[in-house]
């Protein structure tokens, strides 16, 4: 089995197990997803979802966030790792969206990547889940761990891993594949000790007990 055949079979099996994979961050607008994803860096989606309802209720528009001080925003996200720095970036990103992009969250990788506190992973989340634009594959800690474990890449750098996977997975499945790896790593093939009994990937994994 070639690496590409293996990648496509992983995609097929994970898609069967989770037919409609989605980001688990709660949001109702592209900007809310942008903010939630920024907050989720080195933090769990579950914790972010406990903080964002009050944050989004307090600041209902991008202009509201741009008009706030970083200190005001920070007070609402104190449970989040690196909250002070994230508060500064969220306010600065909102101001840039208002000033440069006429109050609309941009829809290209280059423009999103230029926002304060936004890197390629965050941009991919927003493009894929808010706009349905497949500009890449979201690679988080689960994606790094599983793509190496499953033998799809030997790279450790997320950008290089993404480049490798984009060659293996059809573009119309890029958005789903990132979600599928994340969900599989979060709930089935966790970084903690776990049983492989119900794993849909089975013999595709070198660590499966019966390979």
> How many domains in the chain?
2
Query: What local confidence, expressed as pLDDT, does residue 195 receive?
Result: 80
* Residues 67, 56: Cα–Cα separation, whole Å: 14
Does 208 score more than 80 pLDDT? no
pLDDT confidence bin for 210, thresholds 50/70/90: low
Q: Is 140 a catalytic residue?
A: yes
Any domain includes 155: yes
Q: Could you tell me if 70 and 151 lie in one domain?
A: no
User: One of 140, 157, 172, 176 is an active-site residue; which one?
Assistant: 140
Q: What is the pLDDT of residues 112-156, one digit of tens each?
A: 999 999 999 999 999 999 999 999 999 999 999 999 999 999 999
Residue pointed to by tokens 């950008």 = 159
Q: Could you tell me if 152 and 114 lie in one domain?
A: no
Any domain includes 71: yes
Give yes or no for a contact between 111 and 75, defined as CB atoms under 8 angstroms apart: no
Q: Mention every residue, 6+ apart, whose C-beta is less than 8 A from residue 144.
A: 156, 158, 161
Q: Could you tell me if 126 and 165 lie in one domain?
A: no
Examine the fold and report which residue of 131, 165, 181 is the final residue of a domain before the chain moves on. 131
Mean pLDDT of the region 20-29 = 97
pTM for the predicted model, two decimal places = 0.94
Q: Could you tell me if 74 and 104 lie in one domain?
A: yes
Give yes or no for a contact between 142 and 192, defined as CB atoms under 8 angstroms apart: no
Q: Could you tell me if 39 and 100 lie in one domain?
A: yes
Q: Could you tell me if 179 and 125 lie in one domain?
A: no
Domain containing 181 — which CATH number?
1.10.1670.10
Annotate 39-105 with DSSP letters as a single string: HTTTS-HHHHHHHHHHHHHH--SHHHHHHS-HHHHHTT-TTSTTHHHHHHHHHHHHHHHHHHSTTS-
Query: What local confidence, expressed as pLDDT, does residue 196 receive?
Result: 84
Q: Could you tell me if 127 and 142 lie in one domain?
A: no
User: One of 74, 86, 121, 176 is an active-site residue; which one?
Assistant: 121
Give burial (CB, 10 Å; 0-12/13-18/19+) of 53.
exposed
Query: What local confidence, expressed as pLDDT, does residue 193 receive?
Result: 84
* Residues 23, 190: Cα–Cα separation, whole Å: 17
Q: What is the pLDDT of residues 47-61, one digit of tens each?
A: 999 999 999 999 999
Q: Could you tell me if 77 and 38 lie in one domain?
A: yes
**Mean pLDDT, the chain, whole residue set:** 96
Does 206 score more than 90 pLDDT? no
Percent of the chain with pLDDT over 90: 91
Q: Could you tell me if 125 and 34 lie in one domain?
A: yes
Examine the fold and report which residue of 81, 102, 131 is the final residue of a domain before the chain moves on. 131
Q: Could you tell me if 113 and 162 lie in one domain?
A: no
Any domain includes 209: no
Any domain includes 211: no
* Residues 113, 135: Cα–Cα separation, whole Å: 12
Q: For residue 173, give both structure tokens.
A: 């499945």
Q: For residue 114, give both structure tokens.
A: 């230029």
Which residues span the domain enclosing 58? 30-131
pLDDT confidence bin for 211, thresholds 50/70/90: very low
Of 87, 140, 138, residue with least CA distance to 117: 87
Q: Could you tell me if 189 and 156 lie in one domain?
A: yes
Examine the fold and report which residue of 79, 111, 131 is the final residue of a domain before the chain moves on. 131
Domain containing 115 — which CATH number?
1.10.340.30
* Residues 150, 20: Cα–Cα separation, whole Å: 22
Q: What is the pLDDT of residues 62-107, one digit of tens each?
A: 999 999 999 999 999 999 999 999 999 999 999 999 999 999 999 9
Q: Could you tell me if 36 and 117 lie in one domain?
A: yes
């Amino acid at each position: 089995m070639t690496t590409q055949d293996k990648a496509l079979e992983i995609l097929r099996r994970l898609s069967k197990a989770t037919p409609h994979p989605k980001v688990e961050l709660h949001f109702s607008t592209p900007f809310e997803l942008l903010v939630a994803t920024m907050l989720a860096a080195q933090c769990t989606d579950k914790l972010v979802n406990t903080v964002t309802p009050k944050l989004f209720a307090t600041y209902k528009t991008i202009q509201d966030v741009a008009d706030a001080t970083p200190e005001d925003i920070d007070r609402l996200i104190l449970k989040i790792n690196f909250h002070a720095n994230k508060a500064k970036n969220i306010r600065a990103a909102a101001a840039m969206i208002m000033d440069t992009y006429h109050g609309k969250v941009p829809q290209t990788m280059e423009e999103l990547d230029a926002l304060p506190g936004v890197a390629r992973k965050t941009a991919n989340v927003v493009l894929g889940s808010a706009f349905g634009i497949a500009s890449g594959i979201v690679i988080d800690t689960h994606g790094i761990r599983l793509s190496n474990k499953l033998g799809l890449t030997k790279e450790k750098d997320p950008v290089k891993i993404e480049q490798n996977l984009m060659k293996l997975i059809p573009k119309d499945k890029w958005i789903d594949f990132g979600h599928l790896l994340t969900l599989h790593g979060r709930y089935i093939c966790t970084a903690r000790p776990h049983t492989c009994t119900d794993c849909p990937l089975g013999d595709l994994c070198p660590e499966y007990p019966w390979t």
